[in-house]
Amino acid sequence: MYSSSFFSTPLFLSFLACMLAPMAVLGANSNHFTEYIGALFRGVKFSDVPINSSVEFHYILSFAIDYSVATTPPAPTNGEFGVFWDTENLSPDAVSAIEQNYSNVKVAVSLGGATVNGYNVYINATSVESWVSNAVSSLTTMIQQYNLDGIDIDYESFGNENDTDTFTECIGQLIKTLKDNGVISFASIAPFANPTVQSMYQALWAKYSSIIDYVNFQFYAYGADTTVDQYVQYYDEQVSNYPGGNVLASFMTENTTGVISADTGFSACQELKSENKLYGIFIWCADASLSQGFTYEIQSQALLAS
């Protein structure tokens, strides 16, 4: 028991001030790192990429596509997905080996991509029900064969740019069914700052955000003259566009004109980290980084682990 005089002591007043002070806001920094791999067929292997044991590391195989290349142009297959990555170097055994060697590594597959054999890729569904049924069946087989953990959605073109419902239901029902069936443990989406792309992915987000774990936003698609401050502003905008989402910062190591440089992208990641809002980083892609010694992968993982 305390006497009444205790409540006027400096000790109690200090305690009271601490209790009444606003609680600190939890930061958004995390140790999540993602690397896309296999799309450029440059012989890169999982084991080539340096892996920091202090990060949560995801590989994303690129790509699985629901098109047949037996014809020109390629023909849509209504959700029957095939493998379009470098399987010679990124095989089922290679997936098993990297996950056995590193407990912090998971491997996913990205669906769609921009093109196949130079032609745009988009969902061409006979019906939502048939597309989802075919996609669930074909992807379940692929995911189990390759011992994969998740899927990434990277459709960048759309047959009907005003039809958000078909995209939303095809992708939303696919993710939900694969998760409900225990086939995958996580899912990500990979939009970028294009009005049609944003309308599709934000419609998907509005209905199915609860089952989408990561937003791998392609920030590098902004102009090459983008500054670090502008990048941070763009990041804040996308966090608002995908409320509640785990939005990853990103940059590319592929030598492509017209996009944000890797140096600017990494500097922006450092700034986001200093502002306590760097949820994670993804890099496109390991294939391009192979000839560069994976400098940015090493630096990015060190930043996330610090």
Distance separating alpha carbons of residues 109 and 148, to the nearest angstrom:
7
Distance separating alpha carbons of residues 193 and 196, to the nearest angstrom:
9
pLDDT tens digits, one per residue of 121-164:
999 999 999 999 999 999 999 999 999 999 999 999 999 999 99
Q: Please report the pLDDT score of residue 27 as a whole number.
A: 45
Spatial neighbors of 226 by CB under 8 A, at least 6 apart, are 234, 260, 264
Q: Please report the pLDDT score of residue 142 as a whole number.
A: 98
Task: Please state, for a pLDDT cut of 70, what percent of the chain lies above it.
Answer: 91
pLDDT tens digits, one per residue of 39-87:
999 999 999 999 999 999 999 999 999 999 999 999 999 999 999 999 9
Pairing of strands 56-65, 82-83: antiparallel
Q: Please report the pLDDT score of residue 28 as a whole number.
A: 84
pLDDT tens digits, one per residue of 244-273:
999 999 999 998 999 999 999 999 999 999
Residue 21 has pLDDT above 60, yes or no: no
Spatial neighbors of 81 by CB under 8 A, at least 6 apart, are 64, 65, 66, 111, 135, 138, 139, 142
From the candidates 35, 99, 156, 297, give the one annotated as an active-site residue.
Answer: 156
Q: Please report the pLDDT score of residue 33 as a whole number.
A: 98
Confirm whether 156 is a catalytic residue.
yes
